[in-house]
């Protein structure tokens, strides 16, 4: 069965569901309405929605528009005047698919909150992932992907991922060892001459620092998803996530890291994107490029700034700090705008030429898109994360790249050059004066 495209709107008394099911027979359409459930069936299409409020069949109606191939169904609300929340988060409306699971050892603390005592399996919906075995179950030491819940995947795709993920064997490399290897690679990559060139010859960098990105425009306007984004949301798997407190912190820090890489790319391309956009995002993000994670936000921000000074075309401290401010603003805008950014990343990876970046969608981005829609306290949590980031005081010395020492040395060289120029100027002036005296004589 195919899931048809659909749209949902509402007014005070009803919910309107437009189902696009062309080339179907009206006589064979079945519509089911009961409590919060709405189901539509017309071969080969099947749609089942779980709405956030109760609906009733009495008074409901359906109209078919032949030229559009669309069924417009008006379904009455049980409570007139009730507002159904988050109808634009289409993934959450779709009925969940049954997925095989191990026997989870989960303690339900209260509705919507769970403590993970042992492990559980997340349905990744990844075409490359092997069937469920002991190797695929999450590993707190060697895991990667969303919430570090995946294992045994990358080793099977190593040839395809050699230019995407820098860590060679994450399935056999602990999280701590990955951090050490990542930092060693950054130390080797950092170029002090490149850094100084972008420090002193910064005309274009100042231009992109002044660029006003989308998230700084019309801050009070409610974001509406585009038709392309709505189609993406419909295709996402509707899954539940049982996340421990420690895993949630890892997820949030990973989100900050990925958004930093995205915001950097938007700023340096002035919102236009380029053929290097996928490279920019996956390389600057240590989550994506090294399968690293952090339980400390300051450590995450330090890593973002370090990588922005080691890898991309423009390596400037002030630019990196500006991008941190960009991420803080994005987080303040809440769930829908963050989801808008993640959907954009998903499209960039999915359409990247010459590289299988779409695998990063399977490992990270798709799950982030679904999780954000499911998170009941999402906007509050994002505002809290933005507030924490705003309160951080990250200094150049925290990056452990000897930036201050490099700048001091450069200033001494510039001072010596200036002094030499002044001395040469004085000698030239004295020579000219002597020459004038000789002529007068």
Q: Are residues 63 and 173 in the same domain?
A: no
What is the per-residue pLDDT across 155-182, written as a single tens digit (0 to 9) for each? 777 666 767 888 888 888 999 999 999 9
Q: Are residues 237 and 357 in the same domain?
A: yes
Please check whether residue 83 lies inside any domain of the structure: yes
pLDDT, residue 13, reads 93
pLDDT, residue 373, reads 94
Residues 116-130, mean pLDDT to the nearest whole number: 34
Domain count, the chain: 2
- Two tokens, residue 186: 């950054």
d(CA 332, CA 329): 5
CATH of the domain at 41: 2.60.40.790
Q: Are residues 170 and 283 in the same domain?
A: yes
d(CA 36, CA 30): 17
pLDDT, residue 248, reads 93
Please determine, for residue 102, whether its predicted confidence score (pLDDT) is greater than 70: no
pLDDT, residue 439, reads 52
Q: Are residues 40 and 180 in the same domain?
A: no
- Band of pLDDT at residue 352, cut at 50, 70 and 90: confident
Which of 60, 87, 114 marks a domain boundary?
87
Which of 37, 72, 87 marks a domain boundary?
87
- Band of pLDDT at residue 223, cut at 50, 70 and 90: confident
Say which residues have a Cβ less than 8 Å from residue 370's Cβ, sequence separation at least 6: 91, 236, 237, 238, 239, 241
- Band of pLDDT at residue 338, cut at 50, 70 and 90: very high
Task: Write down the residue that tokens 């989100």 correspond to.
Answer: 255
Note the pTM of the prediction, 2 decimals.
Answer: 0.83
Q: Are residues 67 and 162 in the same domain?
A: no
pLDDT, residue 304, reads 98
Please check whether residue 229 lies inside any domain of the structure: yes
- Band of pLDDT at residue 419, cut at 50, 70 and 90: confident
Please check whether residue 10 lies inside any domain of the structure: yes
Which of 65, 87, 109 marks a domain boundary?
87
Q: Are residues 196 and 283 in the same domain?
A: yes
ω before 350 within 30° of 0 (cis)? Answer: no
Q: Are residues 278 and 191 in the same domain?
A: yes
pLDDT, residue 110, reads 38
The percent of residues above 90 in pLDDT, for the chain, comes to: 66
d(CA 91, CA 366): 11
Q: How far is CA 279 from the centre of its chain?
A: 14
pLDDT, residue 139, reads 47
Q: How far is CA 307 from the centre of its chain?
A: 17
- Band of pLDDT at residue 240, cut at 50, 70 and 90: confident
Residues 117-136, mean pLDDT to the nearest whole number: 34
Q: Which of 25-34, 35-44, 81-90, 102-111 has the lowest mean pLDDT?
A: 102-111
**Per-chain mean pLDDT for the chain:** 85
Please check whether residue 127 lies inside any domain of the structure: no
Please check whether residue 76 lies inside any domain of the structure: yes
Please determine, for residue 412, whether its predicted confidence score (pLDDT) is greater than 90: yes
pLDDT, residue 119, reads 30
Report the half-sphere exposure of 240 (CA within 13 A, side-chain side).
12
Report the half-sphere exposure of 357 (CA within 13 A, side-chain side).
23
Element of type H or E holding 289: helix 286-290
Q: Are residues 326 and 204 in the same domain?
A: yes
pLDDT, residue 353, reads 78
SS3 letters for 253-281?
Answer: HHHHHHHHHHHHHHHHCCCCCCCCHHHHH
Residues 207-219, mean pLDDT to the nearest whole number: 89
Please determine, for residue 104, whether its predicted confidence score (pLDDT) is greater than 70: no
d(CA 147, CA 140): 9
What is the per-residue pLDDT across 243-295, written as a single tens digit (0 to 9) for each? 888 899 999 999 999 999 999 999 999 999 999 999 999 999 999 999 999 98
Task: Write down the residue that tokens 């009803």 correspond to.
Answer: 14
Q: Are residues 219 and 322 in the same domain?
A: yes
Q: Are residues 65 and 173 in the same domain?
A: no
pLDDT, residue 423, reads 67
d(CA 276, CA 59): 54
- Two tokens, residue 253: 């820090």
Element of type H or E holding 308: helix 297-308
d(CA 322, CA 329): 11
- Two tokens, residue 400: 């452990």
Please determine, for residue 105, whether its predicted confidence score (pLDDT) is greater than 50: no
Please check whether residue 354 lies inside any domain of the structure: yes
- The full DSSP string for 80-136 is TTPPPTTTT-HHHHBPPPP-------EEEEETTEEEESS--------TTPPPS-GGG
Q: Crossing angle, helix 245-268 and helix 335-350, to 10 degrees?
A: 70
pLDDT, residue 415, reads 83
Residues 233-240, mean pLDDT to the nearest whole number: 91
Phi, psi (5° rounding) for residue 77?
-80, 145
What is the per-residue pLDDT across 129-160, written as a single tens digit (0 to 9) for each? 333 333 333 445 789 999 998 888 887 776 66
Q: Are residues 75 and 195 in the same domain?
A: no
pLDDT, residue 241, reads 87
Q: Are residues 34 and 176 in the same domain?
A: no
pLDDT, residue 113, reads 38
d(CA 133, CA 191): 44
Please check whether residue 433 lies inside any domain of the structure: no
Please check whether residue 128 lies inside any domain of the structure: no
Domain extent, residue 364, equals: 154-399
d(CA 115, CA 413): 58
CA dist 123 → 65, 128, 242, 414 (Å):
37, 12, 12, 59
Please determine, for residue 114, whether its predicted confidence score (pLDDT) is greater than 50: no
């Amino acid at each position: 069965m195919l899931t048809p495209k659909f749209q949902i709107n509402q007014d005070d008394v009803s919910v309107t569901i437009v189902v696009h099911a062309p080339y179907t027979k009206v006589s064979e359409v079945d519509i089911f309405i009961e409590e919060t459930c709405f189901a539509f069936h017309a071969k080969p299409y099947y749609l089942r929605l779980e709405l956030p409020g109760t609906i009733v069949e009495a008074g409901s109606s359906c109209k078919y528009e032949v030229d559009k191939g669309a069924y417009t169904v008006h379904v009455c609300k049980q409570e007139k005047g009730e507002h159904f929340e988050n109808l634009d988060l289409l993934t959450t409306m779709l009925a969940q698919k049954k997925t095989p699971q191990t026997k989870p050892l989960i303690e339900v603390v209260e509705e919507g909150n769970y403590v993970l005592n042992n492990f559980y399996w997340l349905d990744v919906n990844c075409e490359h992932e092997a069937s469920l075995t002991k190797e695929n179950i999450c590993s707190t030491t060697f895991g990667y992907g969303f919430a570090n819940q995946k294992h045994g995947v990358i080793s099977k795709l190593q040839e395809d991922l050699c230019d995407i993920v820098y860590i060679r064997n994450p399935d056999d490399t602990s999280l701590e060892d990955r951090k050490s290897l990542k930092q060693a690679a950054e130390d080797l990559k950092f170029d002090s001459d490149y850094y100084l060139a972008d420090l002193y010859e910064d005309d274009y960098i100042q231009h992109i620092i002044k660029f006003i990105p989308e998230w700084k425009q019309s801050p009070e306007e409610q974001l509406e998803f585009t038709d392309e984004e709505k189609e993406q949301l419909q295709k996402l798997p509707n899954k539940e996530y049982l996340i421990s407190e420690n895993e949630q912190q890892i997820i949030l820090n990973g989100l900050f890291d990925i958004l930093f890489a995205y915001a950097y790319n938007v700023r340096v391309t002035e919102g236009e994107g380029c053929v290097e956009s996928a490279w920019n995002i996956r390389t600057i993000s240590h989550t994506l490029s090294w399968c690293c994670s952090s339980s400390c936000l300051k450590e995450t921000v330090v890593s973002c700034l370090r990588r922005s000074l080691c890898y991309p075309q423009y390596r400037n401290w002030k630019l990196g700090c500006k991008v941190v401010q960009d991420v803080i603003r994005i987080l303040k805008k809440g769930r829908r705008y963050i989801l808008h950014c993640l959907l954009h990343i998903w499209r960039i990876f999915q359409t990247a030429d010459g590289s299988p970046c779409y695998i990063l969608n399977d490992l990270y981005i798709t799950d982030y898109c679904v999780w954000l829609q499911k998170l009941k306290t999402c906007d509050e949590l994002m505002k809290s994360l933005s507030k924490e980031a705003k309160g951080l005081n990250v200094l150049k010395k925290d990056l452990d790249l000897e930036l201050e020492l490099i700048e001091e040395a450069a200033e001494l060289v510039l001072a010596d050059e200036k002094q030499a120029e002044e001395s040469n100027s004085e000698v030239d002036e004295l020579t000219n004066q002597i020459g004038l005296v000789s002529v007068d004589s």
